[in-house]
Structure 1
Amino acid sequence: MKTAFAATAFALVAGAAMAGDKVIVEFGYPYSHLFDVTYEKILPKFYAQYPDIEIKMRATYESYEDGTNTILREATAGTLPDVTMQGLNRQAILVEKGIAKPLDGFIAAEADFAKDGYHKAMLDLGTFDDTVYGLPFSVSLPVGYYNMDLLAKAGITSEDQLPRTWDEVTAMCGKLSDAGVKTPMFWGWNITGNWFLQALMWSQDKPTVIGNDFQIDTPEGLKSLETMHKLFRACDMPNYDVKTAINSFAAGDVAMFYWSTSAVGTVERTKADFAFATHEFPGFEASGPKGLPAGGNAAMFVSTSDDPAVRDAAWKWLKFITSGEGAAEVARTTGYMPPNKAANEIILKDFYAQNPTKATAVRQLPLLREWQAYPGKNGLAVTQVIYDYLEGIVTGEYDDMAAVQEEMNDEVQALLPK
């Protein structure tokens, strides 16, 4: 269904600029609970600059997987939007299938593209075979969220006492349970794209996929599974869905919450009256992780319109939302980091000093690694297979991690290209 934001925003727009016919650009994006407020801030600025363009919001995608599946269906049905937001790890499939259109021609026509904050490292996130297909809109990393009031019951009274290793987290869960905290921890195993499994693998400097080979059948893979099992059991972790997990932490019911930095803005806007802090994602050693996967999404041009006016308007929208000012609203309204250099170095110069809960992920930027997609036509099916096994660990269906390692590996390898 359409979001309430979309209906309200465009009612306002209709009254704001009605001079003549407008060029309509259709746009699809994920996670209304995170990004509605972002586009609510961006749209008035865009319309002030381009009053002859109307952005028509499609129904929001529930997840990045849903977004990719939706675009694949719409490509078959001939009902694609003009611009779509896709997970950084889901761009390749749209490039391979010829759905995403190259952006190099648009970029070449821009006089000051680099000066607008678009730098090589940013463009590399959406570049395939030396061609740019996506402009990154937001980048996230996993962090720890902490209810300092609940942690005080277990003797944690300052942020420098927060856990740095997973062993410290499990020990803290025991203390919190003894202190009467019903939900000591939630750990984001169910974040889109098996992101937290990849976080544990990269924490050991191990990619989840090398070529077409799944790496769960390695010592690092087993250690990742055993760490999840230990955390889930020691912390008596509930099997919350994504929205329930965020809402439960914001309500003050969860002491330690391991999640994407993307939800920091949502938590700050909705949280109950408790002291809130974020801290670096724990690792296997006190020195922390050796790497972490970059989450986030990129804007892709998928329009099938032959109308030059529509194509030009779609590019103006795509460029505006990934520009310095557009990207800055990502940081202001969410916990994502804008990949645009102008946003970070000029517009947000003092922002992170004034917003310490959003600065944690910035401190972790040297750990940034690839959020890997599973190769081949069965990539989305692989994601689901892994999801099902991880949920089985959460629910207690699986306790023998060596057996899970072997069974998961066999199922996934059978789906990957040979």
Structure 2
Amino acid sequence: MKKNLLFLLMMLILIFVTACSNQANGKEPTDKSAEGQTSDNANAETDETAEVPEEKVEAVFWHAMSGGGQESIEAIVDNFNNSQDKYTIIPEFQGSYEEALTKFRSVGGTEDAPAIIQTFEVGTKYMIDSGFIEPVQSFIDEENYDIKQLEENILNYYTVDDQLYSMPFNSSTPVMLYNKDAFKEAGVDPENPPQTFAEIKEAAEDLTVKDGENTERYGFSILNYGWFIEELIATQGGLFVNNDNGRAESATEAVFNGQEGQRVFQLIDEMNQAGTYGNFGSNWDDIRAAFQTGKTAMYLDSSAGVSATVENAPFDVGVAYIPYSEEAERNGVIIGGASLWMTNSIDKEKQKAAWEFMKFLQTPESQAKWHLDTGYFAINPAAYEEEIVQEKWAEFPQLKVTVDQLQETKPSVATQGALSSVFPEARQQVVTAMENVLQGTDPKEALDKAAEETNRVIEQANRANQ
């Protein structure tokens, strides 16, 4: 009897231990397992029917900014991408303006084209005629975007037949930089820099320093770059090509060899012969180095280069408006740099992404950052009221001079800038003419030859476009 009771007790203990073990291992009775399976299936159905976050629309942005400019634009792109959850802009560096435009020619009008491409100002006519772009005016009209908030003298260049074709981006103008310490040493008033061609010649004579046959410091220099000649012609009210600078209708001939152009080349020729003009070639770094090492006292540079020069020069740097001929009135400057173009072969959502990004770029906050990072103008003048800009201007008042010159420019077909499908070729002809004058060629002869060669390529281009 005792054995039976002991056996029964052991069996009960065994059953109890087994049950506890099953619970510890996560095992449930059969009916409970069925309930768990039903619950899991329900959860799976809920996950499948839950709303999946919509993927962002990606739009590729081809640009030609390197160095600090690339760092700044990529930071602004990141700000845009993080500011909303619908679009992602993908910036891709494509080399120089020329290299980027060459690549674009091969994909324009196809699905492989980027949503946005940055093109230099002299590529404007080509882009309009290419048939590959969607004017930003379409989006401005669609949503009544207030374009008046942006800088008029910058918009003017990219406006053709009352249509804004591209969104201005990195914009600059030429200014004259001068060595204030050299001015004081030569007895020239550093707070009253020369303004006219005649005043430039006179000051350059005082500023030039010679040591026997050697010239230790030249009075004045211009980079061998066609842009500066275009600006010196335009500030006199002169045109580069006919038909209202190619804006009334396509240009058929160059007119930069008129009296305004001849005055510029005459100035260069006379100063070169007098030994007061420094020829430092066509490399930006070379002429900037010449200025910072005291080899030239005055020179023309881009407004975008002012900040770096002021910070790096071992002397006090002054900034002034570009000079003009005393035989004409000062008209102002043409905008340089580049703008952003929207392509028309991408889908509408990518175009929308491109447009939203372009608007984001024009906000005062974005433009203030761009202006301070790079030295380029703020497309939206409200950026100049931002605290960070005001603080910078207080430290470097030279920066405000560049903005004043732009805003005082008189709107006209001269300062609006020329349109030509062969602008790069024309600019190179002007550079060749400058080089020839410095080698002793008569200024008018050099200009006439440059105009003749430009007319030849204009004629070829117009014939090809017919």
TM-score, normalised relative to structure 2: 0.72
Q: What is the rounded CA distance, in whole Å, between the counterparts of 2:398 and 2:157 in structure 1?
A: 25
Matched residue type, 1:334:
T
Matched residue type, 1:146:
Y
Which residue among 81, 89, 111 is the counterpart of 2:114? Answer: 81
Alignment of 1:283-362 (within 5 A): 283-285=324-326, 289-302=330-343, 304-306=345-347, 308-344=348-384, 350=390, 354=394, 355-362=396-403
Q: Which residue of 2 aligns with 1:249?
A: 291
Q: Which residue of 1 aligns with 2:455?
A: 413
Whether 2:135 is the aligned partner of 1:102: answer yes
Once the two structures are TM-superposed, the CA of residue 94 in structure 1 deviates from its matched residue by 0.7
Taking structure 1 as reference, are residues 214 and 34 closer, same or farther at Cα in structure 2, changes over 3 Å only? farther
Do 2:240 and 2:254's aligned partners in 1 also have CA atoms closer than 8 Å?
yes
Whether 2:169 is the aligned partner of 1:134: answer no
Taking structure 1 as reference, are residues 147 and 62 closer, same or farther at Cα in structure 2, changes over 3 Å only? farther
Whether 2:405 is the aligned partner of 1:373: answer no
Taking structure 1 as reference, are residues 116 and 36 closer, same or farther at Cα in structure 2, changes over 3 Å only? farther
Q: Which residue of 1 aligns with 2:195?
A: 164
Alignment of 1:240-279 (within 5 A): 240-250=282-292, 253-269=295-311, 271-279=312-320
Q: What is the rounded CA distance, in whole Å, between the counterparts of 1:228 and 1:80 in structure 2?
A: 44
Once the two structures are TM-superposed, the CA of residue 383 in structure 1 deviates from its matched residue by 2.6
Q: Which has the larger radius of gyration?
A: 2
- Greater fraction of residues in helix: 2
Q: What is the rounded CA distance, in whole Å, between the counterparts of 2:224 and 2:430 in structure 1?
A: 10
Q: What is the rounded CA distance, in whole Å, between the counterparts of 1:173 and 1:382 in structure 2?
A: 30
Which residue among 215, 222, 227 is the counterpart of 1:195? Answer: 227
How many residue pairs are counted as aligned between the two chains? Answer: 388
Alignment of 1:109-188 (within 5 A): 109-110=142-143, 113-114=145-146, 117-118=149-150, 123-156=155-188, 158-160=190-192, 162-178=193-209, 181-188=216-223
- Report the secondary structure of 1:159's partner residue: coil
Q: Which residue of 1 aligns with 2:25?
A: none
Once the two structures are TM-superposed, the CA of residue 41 in structure 1 deviates from its matched residue by 4.8
Q: What is the rounded CA distance, in whole Å, between the counterparts of 1:287 and 1:208 in structure 2?
A: 16
**Percent of residue pairs bearing the same amino acid type:** 20
Q: How big is the alpha-carbon RMSD for the aligned residues of Structure 1 and Structure 2?
A: 3.4
**1:349-385: CA deviation from partner (whole Å, max 9, x where unpaired):** 84685242111122222225122133x5x44332322
Do 2:384 and 2:390's aligned partners in 1 also have CA atoms closer than 8 Å?
no
Q: Which residue of 2 aligns with 1:403?
A: 445
Once the two structures are TM-superposed, the CA of residue 222 in structure 1 deviates from its matched residue by 1.9
Q: Which residue of 1 aligns with 2:428?
A: 384
Worse-superposed segment, 408-417 or 285-294: 285-294
Taking structure 1 as reference, are residues 391 and 33 closer, same or farther at Cα in structure 2, changes over 3 Å only? farther
Do 2:232 and 2:322's aligned partners in 1 also have CA atoms closer than 8 Å?
no
Matched residue type, 1:385:
Q
Taking structure 1 as reference, are residues 224 and 176 closer, same or farther at Cα in structure 2, changes over 3 Å only? closer
Do 2:59 and 2:90's aligned partners in 1 also have CA atoms closer than 8 Å?
yes
Q: Any stretches of 5+ residues in structure 2 without a counterpart?
A: 1-52, 244-250
Do 1:188 and 1:258's aligned partners in 2 also have CA atoms closer than 8 Å?
yes
Taking structure 1 as reference, are residues 174 and 115 closer, same or farther at Cα in structure 2, changes over 3 Å only? closer
Once the two structures are TM-superposed, the CA of residue 309 in structure 1 deviates from its matched residue by 4.0
- Report the secondary structure of 1:293's partner residue: coil
Once the two structures are TM-superposed, the CA of residue 83 in structure 1 deviates from its matched residue by 1.0
Matched residue type, 1:62:
S
- Report the secondary structure of 1:56's partner residue: strand
Do 1:154 and 1:179's aligned partners in 2 also have CA atoms closer than 8 Å?
no
Q: What is the rounded CA distance, in whole Å, between the counterparts of 1:88 and 1:82 in structure 2?
A: 19
Q: What is the rounded CA distance, in whole Å, between the counterparts of 1:84 and 1:277 in structure 2?
A: 35
Once the two structures are TM-superposed, the CA of residue 163 in structure 1 deviates from its matched residue by 1.9
**1:43-94: CA deviation from partner (whole Å, max 9, x where unpaired):** 343233136644433335434x555444334428874322122233422321
Q: What is the rounded CA distance, in whole Å, between the counterparts of 2:218 and 2:68 in structure 1?
A: 24
Once the two structures are TM-superposed, the CA of residue 275 in structure 1 deviates from its matched residue by 1.3
Q: What is the rounded CA distance, in whole Å, between the counterparts of 1:73 and 1:251 in structure 2?
A: 44
Once the two structures are TM-superposed, the CA of residue 120 in structure 1 deviates from its matched residue by 6.7
Do 1:203 and 1:289's aligned partners in 2 also have CA atoms closer than 8 Å?
yes
Once the two structures are TM-superposed, the CA of residue 321 in structure 1 deviates from its matched residue by 1.6
